[in-house]
A and B are shown apart, each in its own frame.
Chain A
Amino acid sequence: MIKKSSNVLLEVIDIAKEFDVSKPWLNRVIERQERQILKAVDGVSFTINRGETLSLVGESGCGKSTVARLVCGLYKPSRGSIIFDSVNMADAGADEVQQLRKRFQMIFQDPYASLNPRWRVGKIIAEPLRVHKIATSNADVKQRVDKLLTQVGLSPLDAEKFPHEFSGGQRQRISIARALSSNPEFLVCDEPTSALDVSVQAQILNLMKDLQREFGLTYLFISHNLAVVSHISTRVGVMYLGRLVEVADTKRIFANPQHPYTQMLQSAIPDLKMTGKQRTPVAGEVPNPLTPPTGCAFHPRCPHAFERCKTERPNLIDYEDGGQVACHAVEEKRINIRVAA
């Protein structure tokens, strides 16, 4: 696939988000402590083409949700830029941002918290319609809400109910209906299935795939569940401690992972065929992000680490099949590349 610039919907260039988690000023002075800065996201770049699904995976606390929130504008990036359809979000005026917001929406992790408990479902779904003045007359709004409810597999009669009258999966359908109501092109999904039953997860994922096909949606999908990711994504980005370590097509990343961390994650997926086989266990724990290791953040857990990894931070380098890897060992071809089966 040849990349055309017009084909890129979202481009994220070197974004970072730092949180000040230091104690209050007086405590710092008395206890003689420095300011503590948590680098939740530290220089992440990626592009998403129209109609594709980019998944970000990683362990808890690796900054994947923060990336989702940065893209949606819930957080202001400390550094870097987010370019949506060739408009830089940081330079855009308030009106322009409001116009852009219509075109991207977000689906949240917890379907029990993401719907206002005091609002009827019809009002929840209609909110984007009214805010963006897509539909103004009550009849028009009602007609659109009914259609959206049907599209996500609920009944138009459900518009009169309150969120607590629904199950988790149904609520997530309501969230999706709300996200779709302003006819967006781009959806940021922050672990939309992690709070759901496995059987319901599949329903929601299939619904999302169907909607993607029908409306040509582009997804940024955040998850820690590799099975879910392999089901829905076109490309996958693996994050570790606020940085991307590998980006590649879904097929390639599952068949032929390059980065040692990706390999570890992959071998940790439970699989019937793997029964009895030797696996590489994911050794050690994620380091404290307040004091990240020098050089490559993964080096304390990496079986291939050597001197250079402890001092020099690896950057994402393009790989022959269109993927990108940030690893000195891969760059120096010291890791035996496993050939796709």
Chain B
Amino acid sequence: MTGALTSTVRRFLDSDIWYKFRRDPIVIVATIIGLILILSSAFAPLFAPHSPFDLKTLNLSDAFTPPAWIEAGKAQFLLGTDDQGRDVLSTIMYGSRASLVVGFAAVLLSMVVGITLGLISGYFGGALDAFIMRVADVQLSFPAILIALLISGVARVVIPNSQHDQVAIYVLIFAIAASGWVQYARTVRGSTLVERNKEYVQAARVIGRRPLAIMFAHVLPNVLGPVMVLATLHIGTAIITEATLSYLGVGMPATQPTLGTMIRIGGDFLLSGEWWILWFPGLALVVLVLSINIIGDWLRDALNPKLR
């Protein structure tokens, strides 16, 4: 087992991807910034100077403190505080945690659904394929944000008020995932149509493997390349969608701030001079999504055999 592992590591270090990665400073910077943001939010309780959820440490008299480098600022609140006296820096750390969880989970869910449907569609073909693809076409004619809005809107009515806060994150994940699976299904279907006719798939059929085993053991590893690129880019979109929904007030509840909720709160005070409440979460969102997108873009080029 260790032999296989070291050979995998060696293959990675010898690979084109690693070589190209080392020669592209923009991607290296994007990766480092992305990692810093992800790690600082993942370990927010360790790094954050304050806990925005601990009501005991909040003091309303600290509200609207400007960033530390401005005259009225306090050193303990580096990026200032919001209307409830929460430290903006800490809230960003905790908030991007929720954003990242929602983003990754939504992408994972839509990947699983999209890949499965795409494989079935491409491998079996026929009426099943036509049905799945027409559903996908119909869904594609609506903007993703509209579908997510619809789902979380319906969930709000269906789910009793007292449970809103607990299930909000799952509803959000489901809503974003439901609006994103189509891309995966289409990409996977297209690649599956190509792979299905290759001789290694026919060899597996002669050996006597069942269709599901062929789809997941043989075809899936060979169609995963474009899917990984799509997924990386989709994480950025999913985070933006989450922020948009939270901004519109149908996303996460106010007690569990995300970058979107922070931007919404900040929006109320932008014109009264407390710009930092909006600016810093907004900046964090832009930098996070930008670095993920740069990595995704680079991955697409690096994995594209035609550009090699």
Q: Mark A167-188, 1 if CB is under 8 A from B, else 0.
A: 0000000010010001000000
Q: Which of A102, A160, A178, A182 contacts B203 (CB 8 A)?
A: A178
Interface residues on B, range: 10 to 19
Q: Is the CB of B207 within 8 A of A160?
A: no
Residue on B nearest A72 in the bound complex, by CB? B206
Interface: B157 (CB within 8 A): no
Tell me the chain A residues, 68-123 only, with Cβ under 8 Å from chain B: 69, 72-74, 97-98, 101-102, 105-106, 108-110, 113-119
Interface: A323 (CB within 8 A): no
Interface: B160 (CB within 8 A): no
- When distances are taken between beta carbons in the complex, the residues of chain A under 8 Å from B200 are 113-117
Q: Is the CB of A108 within 8 A of B208?
A: no
Interface: A255 (CB within 8 A): no
Q: Is the CB of B206 within 8 A of A102?
A: no
Q: Is the CB of B205 within 8 A of A74?
A: yes
Q: Which of B198, B202, B209, B218 contacts A74 (CB 8 A)?
A: B202
Q: Is the CB of A114 within 8 A of B206?
A: no
Interface: B4 (CB within 8 A): yes
- When distances are taken between beta carbons in the complex, the residues of chain B under 8 Å from A117 are 200, 222
Interface: A127 (CB within 8 A): yes
Contacts A108-B202, A110-B199, A160-B7; A116 near B208 (Cβ below 8 A):
no
Docked Cα-Cα span, A243 to B209, in Å, equals 31
- When distances are taken between beta carbons in the complex, the residues of chain B under 8 Å from A116 are 200, 204, 218, 221-222
Interface: A290 (CB within 8 A): no
Interface: A131 (CB within 8 A): yes
Q: Mark B204-233, 1 if CB is under 8 A from A, else 0.
A: 111111000000001001100000000000
Residue on A nearest B225 in the bound complex, by CB? A118
Docked Cα-Cα span, A116 to B222, in Å, equals 8
Docked Cα-Cα span, A97 to B218, in Å, equals 22
Interface: A128 (CB within 8 A): yes
Contacts A108-B199, A113-B200, A160-B7; A118 near B208 (Cβ below 8 A):
no
Interface: A132 (CB within 8 A): yes
Interface: B305 (CB within 8 A): no
Contacts A118-B221, A160-B3; A127 near B207 (Cβ below 8 A):
yes
Q: Which of B3, B206, B222 contacts A101 (CB 8 A)?
A: B206
Residue on A nearest B3 in the bound complex, by CB? A160
- When distances are taken between beta carbons in the complex, the residues of chain B under 8 Å from A127 are 204, 207, 209
Tell me the chain A residues, 128-160 only, with Cβ under 8 Å from chain B: 128, 131-132, 160
Docked Cα-Cα span, A72 to B204, in Å, equals 12
Q: Mark B150-167, 1 if CB is under 8 A from A, else 0.
A: 000000000000000000
Docked Cα-Cα span, A131 to B213, in Å, equals 10
Docked Cα-Cα span, A178 to B207, in Å, equals 9
Docked Cα-Cα span, A19 to B222, in Å, equals 28
Tell me the chain B residues, 162-210 only, with Cβ under 8 Å from chain A: 198-200, 202-209
- When distances are taken between beta carbons in the complex, the residues of chain A under 8 Å from B222 are 116-118
Tell me the chain B residues, 36-95 only, with Cβ under 8 Å from chain A: none
Q: Is the CB of A131 within 8 A of B209?
A: yes
- When distances are taken between beta carbons in the complex, the residues of chain A under 8 Å from B4 are 160
- When distances are taken between beta carbons in the complex, the residues of chain A under 8 Å from B205 are 73-74
Contacts A116-B218, A118-B221, A160-B3; A102 near B199 (Cβ below 8 A):
no
- When distances are taken between beta carbons in the complex, the residues of chain A under 8 Å from B203 are 106, 108, 114-115, 175, 178
Docked Cα-Cα span, A102 to B7, in Å, equals 33
Q: Is the CB of B208 within 8 A of A98?
A: yes
Q: Which among B3, B7, B199 has the highest number of chain A CB atoms within 10 Å?
A: B199
Docked Cα-Cα span, A108 to B204, in Å, equals 12
Tell me the chain A residues, 284-301 only, with Cβ under 8 Å from chain B: none
Docked Cα-Cα span, A118 to B203, in Å, equals 15
Task: Give the shortest distance, in Å, between A124 (CB) and chain B (any CB).
Answer: 8
Task: Give the shortest distance, in Å, between A103 (CB) and chain B (any CB).
Answer: 11
- When distances are taken between beta carbons in the complex, the residues of chain B under 8 Å from A178 are 203, 207
Task: Give the shortest distance, in Å, between A137 (CB) and chain B (any CB).
Answer: 16
Q: Is the CB of B199 within 8 A of A73?
A: no
- When distances are taken between beta carbons in the complex, the residues of chain B under 8 Å from A118 are 221-222
Q: Is the CB of A109 within 8 A of B3?
A: no
- When distances are taken between beta carbons in the complex, the residues of chain B under 8 Å from A182 are 207
- When distances are taken between beta carbons in the complex, the residues of chain B under 8 Å from A115 are 200, 203
- When distances are taken between beta carbons in the complex, the residues of chain A under 8 Å from B209 are 127, 131
Task: Give the shortest distance, in Å, between B13 (CB) and chain A (any CB).
Answer: 16
Task: Give the shortest distance, in Å, between B105 (CB) and chain A (any CB).
Answer: 27
Q: Which of A109, A113, A119, A131 contacts B207 (CB 8 A)?
A: A131
Q: Is the CB of B198 within 8 A of A106?
A: no
- When distances are taken between beta carbons in the complex, the residues of chain A under 8 Å from B202 are 69, 74, 106, 108, 114
- When distances are taken between beta carbons in the complex, the residues of chain B under 8 Å from A128 are 207-208
Docked Cα-Cα span, A115 to B221, in Å, equals 13
Docked Cα-Cα span, A108 to B207, in Å, equals 13
- When distances are taken between beta carbons in the complex, the residues of chain A under 8 Å from B199 are 108-110, 113-114
Task: Give the shortest distance, in Å, between A25 (CB) and chain B (any CB).
Answer: 13
Task: Give the shortest distance, in Å, between A120 (CB) and chain B (any CB).
Answer: 8
- When distances are taken between beta carbons in the complex, the residues of chain B under 8 Å from A98 are 208
Task: Give the shortest distance, in Å, between A88 (CB) and chain B (any CB).
Answer: 18
Can you sample 21 A-B contacts with CB below 8 Å? A73-B206, A101-B206, A106-B203, A108-B202, A108-B203, A109-B199, A113-B200, A114-B200, A115-B200, A116-B218, A118-B221, A119-B218, A127-B204, A127-B207, A128-B208, A131-B208, A132-B208, A160-B3, A175-B203, A178-B203, A178-B207
Q: Which 6 A-B pairs have the closest CB atoms?
A: A114-B199, A118-B221, A101-B208, A108-B199, A113-B199, A116-B200
Knowing that A114-B202, A160-B4 are A-B contacts, what are 6 other residue pairs whose CB atoms are under 8 Å apart, sorted by A's residue number? A97-B208, A101-B208, A114-B199, A114-B203, A127-B207, A178-B207
